[in-house]
């Protein structure tokens, strides 16, 4: 099996030198084990945090061990009745072409006509669940709310905008890092307004896009975006703090918002969350999202990088914004 390991901890932007590729011989299957040929690997922003040796909600990646993370593949050999050969499974064994472990580590999913299995890493998986619970359980979005989401053309953000619309948002506003992404937001994803945060200050662009203020902010970016949202909030506004990707590769400290007192004067709520604490919501999410997809009310994009040898490059590309929707690596097993 080909596997990619972390060998040193990056400072600032990771480089290829922080990783190595190893080939391992897989032993024969033990009782209750399955062997899975991966189709797609997930590269995710949170992985950058786990490369640092700091206390967080998940322990850091171990050095000289294979990178863990979401992946989807097909069972090619099985000694488990619940995981017959041919079943599609999702797992967390990460950056390798073939995964082999106890069957309990693999969740069998249903194949849906016309939906690629990579969707289980995005619109039918962790990133869209994050959008679903962040809007509803964390930001407590109400009908008629004006909702602003940053990182809006990414995996989480594109789901946030569409779910907000379905839940009856009054106005949905998104920001992203290129004119093409901005067009996609208002064209394909049904956002009412969108802007390119690289063109001029977020504060100014958000004020223009939300003349009547915002009620909910879904924060994927932090920094200048959070500061702009604190300026734009109506009384009683709510933020789901989901991520702060603008700072993931910075070295040293970054300035905080200069308008924190708005939290007091406008009675705002800022609540952080990690999707791992909301897995109990998965069944309801899967049912709703399955319906929305089949009714054509939700659509999605994926950026597919081909070849396991390009996984690190895919990860870095995602951090640089080269993806639209979910970034995945196609392993080439199918």
Binding site for ligand NDP (CB under 6 A): 44-46, 127, 130, 151, 153-157, 176-178, 181, 220-221, 242-243, 245-246, 273-275, 318-319, 321, 323, 327
Which of 153, 163 has the CB closer to ligand NDP?
153
Beta carbon of residue 125, minimum distance to ligand NDP (angstroms, whole number) = 10
Beta carbon of residue 126, minimum distance to ligand NDP (angstroms, whole number) = 6
d(CA 154, CA 132): 14
Query: Which tokens go with 210?
Result: 């939300």
Which of 87, 94 has the CB closer to ligand NDP?
94
Which of 45, 237 has the CB closer to ligand NDP?
45
Beta carbon of residue 157, minimum distance to ligand NDP (angstroms, whole number) = 5
3-state secondary structure of 5: strand
Beta carbon of residue 243, minimum distance to ligand NDP (angstroms, whole number) = 2
Which of 73, 125 has the CB closer to ligand NDP?
125
Beta carbon of residue 88, minimum distance to ligand NDP (angstroms, whole number) = 21
Which of 190, 321 has the CB closer to ligand NDP?
321
Closest CA to 80 of 57, 59, 106: 106
Which of 1, 303 has the CB closer to ligand NDP?
303
Which of 46, 282 has the CB closer to ligand NDP?
46
3-state secondary structure of 142: coil
Beta carbon of residue 165, minimum distance to ligand NDP (angstroms, whole number) = 18
Measured on CA atoms in the order 200, 205, 208, 211, is the torsion positive or negative? negative
Which residue is it, tokens 């040193």? 8
3-state secondary structure of 145: coil
Beta carbon of residue 333, minimum distance to ligand NDP (angstroms, whole number) = 23
Which of 116, 170 has the CB closer to ligand NDP?
116
Which of 274, 284 has the CB closer to ligand NDP?
274
d(CA 243, CA 151): 10
Question: What is the per-residue DSSP string for 193-259?
Answer: EEEETTTS-HHHHHHHH-TT-EEEEEESS-HHHHHHHHHHEEEEEEEEE---GGGTT--S--PPPTT
d(CA 171, CA 181): 18
Beta carbon of residue 153, minimum distance to ligand NDP (angstroms, whole number) = 5
Whole-Å CA distances, 169 to 127, 164, 242, 294? 20, 5, 19, 21
What is the tally of helices (H) and strands (E) in the chain? Answer: 9, 16
3-state secondary structure of 147: strand
Mode of pairing for the β-strands spanning 233-241 and 214-219: parallel
d(CA 317, CA 161): 23
Beta carbon of residue 80, minimum distance to ligand NDP (angstroms, whole number) = 29
């Amino acid at each position: 099996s080909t596997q990619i390991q972390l060998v040193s901890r990056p400072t600032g932007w990771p480089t290829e030198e922080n990783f190595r590729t190893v080939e391992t011989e897989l032993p024969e299957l033990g009782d209750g084990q399955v062997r899975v040929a991966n189709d797609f690997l997930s590269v995710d922003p949170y992985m950058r945090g786990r490369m640092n040796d700091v206390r967080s909600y998940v322990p850091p990646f171990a050095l000289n061990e294979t990178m863990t993370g979401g992946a989807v593949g097909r069972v090619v050999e099985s000694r488990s009745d619940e995981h017959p050969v041919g079943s599609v499974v999702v797992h967390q064994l990460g950056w390798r072409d073939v995964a082999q472990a106890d069957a309990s580590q693999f969740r069998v999913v249903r194949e849906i006509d016309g939906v690629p299995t990579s969707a289980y890493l995005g619109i039918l998986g962790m990133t869209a669940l994050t959008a679903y619970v962040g809007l509803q359980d964390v930001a407590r979005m109400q009908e008629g709310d004006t909702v602003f989401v940053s990182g809006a053309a990414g995996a989480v953000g594109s789901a946030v905008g569409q779910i907000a619309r379905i839940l009856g948002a009054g106005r949905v506003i998104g920001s992203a890092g290129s004119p093409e992404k901005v067009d996609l937001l208002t064209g394909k994803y049904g956002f009412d307004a969108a802007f390119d945060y690289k063109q001029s200050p977020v504060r100014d662009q958000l004020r223009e896009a939300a003349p009547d203020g915002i009620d909910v902010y879904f924060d994927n970016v932090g920094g200048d975006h959070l500061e702009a949202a604190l300026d734009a909030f109506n009384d009683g506004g709510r933020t789901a703090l989901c991520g702060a990707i603008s700072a993931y590769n910075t070295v040293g400290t970054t300035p905080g918002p200069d308008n924190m007192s708005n939290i007091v004067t406008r009675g705002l709520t800022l609540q952080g969350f990690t999707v791992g604490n909301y897995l109990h919501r998965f069944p309801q999410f899967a049912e709703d999202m399955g319906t929305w997809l089949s009714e054509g009310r939700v659509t999605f994009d994926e950026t597919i990088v081909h070849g396991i040898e390009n996984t690190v490059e895919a990860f870095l590309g995602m951090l640089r914004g080269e993806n639209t929707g979910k970034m995945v690596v196609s392993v080439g097993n199918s």
